[in-house]
């Protein structure tokens, strides 16, 4: 699933689950192989949630998830989440939860690798502003 963004590049969003339980997941190799500016790949399922790899640079669009919280963990780089009244800047080793219903706009001023944990049924692009 690829969606054209207002910023002029494709969001490469892959919802297929790459790994089953008891498989080793080489996150670094997957991230290093990524050539996209905004890439999202579902790595595995954990109960009712999924873990997704994001390799990002630039801006995403303002959106929200009406029924699901979203957890972001920065593996490398810098990741900024704009909220309606403030911005939160995360660097490697930092995590942050955006609660359901909260408008947010993620962006990364440099190539950044993140892991996201969210309910399996979430639509990664959210509902727009």
Half-sphere exposure of 107 (CA within 13 A, CB side): 12
What is the pLDDT at residue 13?
87
Q: Let me know: does 18 contact 51? Beta carbons within 8 Å.
A: no
DSSP E strand stretches across the chain = 2-4, 10-14, 38-46, 49-59, 63-64, 70-76, 78-83, 87-91, 95-98, 104-119, 127-128
Residue 60 lies in a domain: yes
Residue 129 lies in a domain: no
Looking at residues 36-65, what average pLDDT do you find? 94
Higher pLDDT, 120 or 8: 120
What is the pLDDT at residue 122?
78
Tokens of 13: 């969003």
Which structural domain, as residue segments, surrounds residue 42?
Answer: 2-120
Report yes or no on whether pTM surpasses 0.75. Answer: yes
Residue 57 lies in a domain: yes
- Residue 109 sits in a domain of what CATH number? 2.60.120.10
* pLDDT exceeds cutoff 60 at 5: no
58-73 pLDDT, tens digit each: 998 899 999 999 999 9
Residue 127 lies in a domain: no
Residue 128 lies in a domain: no
Percentage of the chain beyond pLDDT 90 is 75
Residue 9 lies in a domain: yes
**Helical H runs in the chain?**
27-33
Q: How many structural domains comprise the chain?
A: 1
């Amino acid at each position: 699933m690829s969606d054209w963004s207002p910023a002029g590049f494709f969001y490469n969003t892959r919802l297929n689950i790459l790994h089953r339980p008891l498989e080793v997941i080489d996150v670094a190799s997957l991230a290093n192989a990524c050539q996209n500016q905004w890439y999202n790949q579902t790595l595995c399922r954990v109960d009712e949630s999924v873990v997704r790899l994001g390799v990002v640079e630039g801006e995403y669009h303002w959106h929200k998830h009406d029924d699901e919280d979203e957890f972001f963990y920065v593996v490398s780089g810098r990741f900024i989440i704009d909220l309606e009244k403030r911005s939160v800047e995360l660097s490697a080793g930092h995590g942050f939860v955006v609660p359901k219903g909260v408008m947010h706009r993620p962006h990364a001023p440099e190539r950044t690798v993140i892991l996201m944990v969210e309910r399996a049924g979430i639509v990664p692009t959210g509902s727009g502003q």
